[in-house]
Structure 1
Amino acid sequence: MHRLRTWPRDLLKQALHEILRRLPVGFAPRLGRALAPVVQRMNAGRIYARRIAWNLDRLHAGGPLSATAHAAALARWWKGVGAVFAEYATLERLGEAGRLEIEDPAGVAAVAARLPRDGPVVFACIHLGPFELCFETILNGLGREAVGTWQPEPSNASNAILARLRARYGLFAFPPGQRSARHLHRMVVAEGFDAILFVDEVCDRQIHLPAFGRALPTRGNAVTAVKLALKTGAPLVPVHVLRTGTARYRFVIGAPLAIHRDGSESLAVSDGVAALDRYFDPLVRTHVEQWYMLPELRLPGFVPRSGQGTSQ
């Protein structure tokens, strides 16, 4: 029954994706932004939409925001998410179209290029801007051999679109699970592939990193990234993408994070996760309007306003 209800929407989504693939790269994000206000109004009464608004107000670097400023920031967040979905259709064409700038002040890419074949890099990413560009740029912009992980979307159409997109630009990403974790470990530790891990993934129905003052996570992608760096001696390199204009983007490579590799593994892992949190917390706050994961963040103190719907 669920498939019957979602079939028209999924068909429309895939048809629109194929149309956008054949149009200039600047058209897709413009269309996504244009449709976003409609989607925002349709979902305004849902709990997840009110959580987005509340989280945005709590985290915004310019806060506390006036009602007018908050409404404008919230509208920009929805427009950015609309652009993200539309940009899947053009993602692998952005580099050759001259729309992607790579910022690498520490010269990490040049250093990584001199590593031996069996010397991997562990890239830690977050869902800023069109975050899929983290995968594509590491593989094709930097010329690395890398594997990653991903969390399937609720929509079968979205999963099909992502599978075809990743096949086009050459990514193999493992789904969640212990078996996938073992394969990822083998390919990075034994085979020397780079790892690409989004450390702000959903685990136990919420985001745990950045912690924003909560306890740091003791499992999940951040822990896996640090453990892989410790096991292989690889640098732990934070990366992210920002939207700098309409169909213009910047891929930023941070300096490798310092990890105390001597002593017990538990202390080293805790130290590495804390380093990731220190790096990404202010980054998200500064660019919170581009952070895709706002609806999945459950900070303490959130109470839906009375008199509004309680749809999930």
Structure 2
Amino acid sequence: MSAVRGRRRIPPVAFGETRAPEIPAPSLARRLRAWPRDLLKQALHEILRRLPVGFAPRLGRLLAPLVQRMNGSRIFARRIAWNLDRLHAAGPLSGTAHAEALARWWKGAGAVFAEYATLERLGAAGRLEIDDPEGSIAALPRDGPAVFACVHLGPFELCFETILNRLGREAVGTWQPEPSNASNAILARLRARYGIFAFPPGQRSARHLHRLVVTEGFDAILFVDEVRDRQVHLPAFGRDLPARGNAVTAVKLALKTGAPLVPVHVLRTGTAQYRFVVGAPLVFDREGLESLAVSGGVVALDRYFDPLVRAHVEQWYMLPELRLPGFVARPPGDAAAQ
């Protein structure tokens, strides 16, 4: 049976199962080069934790133009610019409009990094609005799980924290580790503070998720725009829909448990002001062959999140990981690209 803390169950799994595997440094020289940067990152996080909640996103936005200039010629930065123009609701953008939209994306990304330091304080500080126009929260099952599908809009970690602590749900999730031991350590400490059990990729994590949701009745929180095979597969933006990954897992869990499949997302509405939006449970045919039901659920996810991401693409963190057809990594004469 699950342990109980107050009126909320704690998943019967060691919290260490949620930690990212340690990334081995390939050489002593690279470890020495990374050490000052990692130390600065962790020190800055601890300082921002102790400052007013509005300071962190302002600092992230302030530093963003410098980071943008430092990376402007790199392939991932050019991919951001290319994807932004093709997905933007007002696109194709003029030169000035494109530059302004691109600057807003970088400032938002900078704020995301800084906001990790204040995340668990935002609700208590009155900075988080919960928007539930369809009354979906009141209709969530009390004696069984719900499956929440999210995308990386705004300070997306708030999906975890809000569902767990503002909605009062018993929930577990999955996450993709960062390519930095220091960043992963920061995330582990953050999640230990506010209480989410989110598991990294792997078969053991998949077994934990299945048992906790299907057998124990915990909610699932899954980001359906995750990176897999160096690519974001959903929203599909006209490409083939994924046959595996988090979107498929979310639908299968909903089918297995009879749980509602509830789309949620976060938007930044001002400096240190946020809105958590709960959509109506997605409707798709759950009867008949499982393969058709799964496909129908993935179609429903894509239909919901495609226009949403396009409408708020300047807040979509996954632009550098999206590989749409037609992007040229190294234009002719661009030998300096990395």
Residue 29 of structure 1: which of 43, 54, 57 is its match?
Answer: 57
Secondary structure in 1 matching 2:138: helix
Is residue 104 of structure 2 the alignment partner of residue 65 of structure 1?
no
Aligned to 1:306: 332
Q: What aligned pairs does 1:1-312 form with structure 2 within 5 A after superposition?
A: 1=27, 2-112=30-140, 115-117=141-143, 119-304=144-329, 305-308=331-334, 309-311=336-338
Secondary structure in 1 matching 2:250: helix
Distance 2:137 2:333 in 1: 53
RMSD across aligned C-alpha pairs, in angstroms?
A: 0.7
Secondary structure in 1 matching 2:139: helix
Residues 255-299 of structure 1 show CA distances to partners (whole Å, capped at 9, x for unaligned) of 000021110000000000000000000000000000000000000
Query: Displacement, 1:306?
Result: 2.8
Query: Displacement, 1:108?
Result: 1.3
Residues 104-141 of structure 1 show CA distances to partners (whole Å, capped at 9, x for unaligned) of 011111112xx243x10000000000000000000001
Secondary structure in 1 matching 2:189: helix
Q: Structure 1 residue runs of 4+, over 6 Å off?
A: none
Distance 1:37 1:198 in 2: 28
Residues 41-65 of structure 1 show CA distances to partners (whole Å, capped at 9, x for unaligned) of 0000100000000000010000110
Secondary structure in 2 matching 1:203: coil
Distance 1:178 1:22 in 2: 38
Query: Displacement, 1:187?
Result: 0.5
1:27 maps to amino acid: F
Query: Displacement, 1:249?
Result: 0.1
Query: Displacement, 1:307?
Result: 3.0
Distance 1:66 1:120 in 2: 47
Distance 1:208 1:256 in 2: 22
1:94 maps to amino acid: L
Aligned to 2:11: none
Distance 1:169 1:192 in 2: 20
Distance 1:168 1:116 in 2: 25
Query: Displacement, 1:8?
Result: 0.5
Gaps spanning 5+ residues in structure 1: where? none
Distance 1:306 1:20 in 2: 43
Distance 1:259 1:278 in 2: 11
Residues 174-206 of structure 1 show CA distances to partners (whole Å, capped at 9, x for unaligned) of 110122111101100000000000000000111
**TM-score normalised by structure 1 residue count:** 0.98
Secondary structure in 1 matching 2:80: helix
1:230 maps to amino acid: L
Residues 66-101 of structure 1 show CA distances to partners (whole Å, capped at 9, x for unaligned) of 000000000000000000000000000000000000
Query: Displacement, 1:310?
Result: 2.6
1:132 maps to amino acid: E
Residues 216-243 of structure 1 show CA distances to partners (whole Å, capped at 9, x for unaligned) of 0000000000000000000000000000
Distance 1:190 1:61 in 2: 42
1:51 maps to amino acid: R
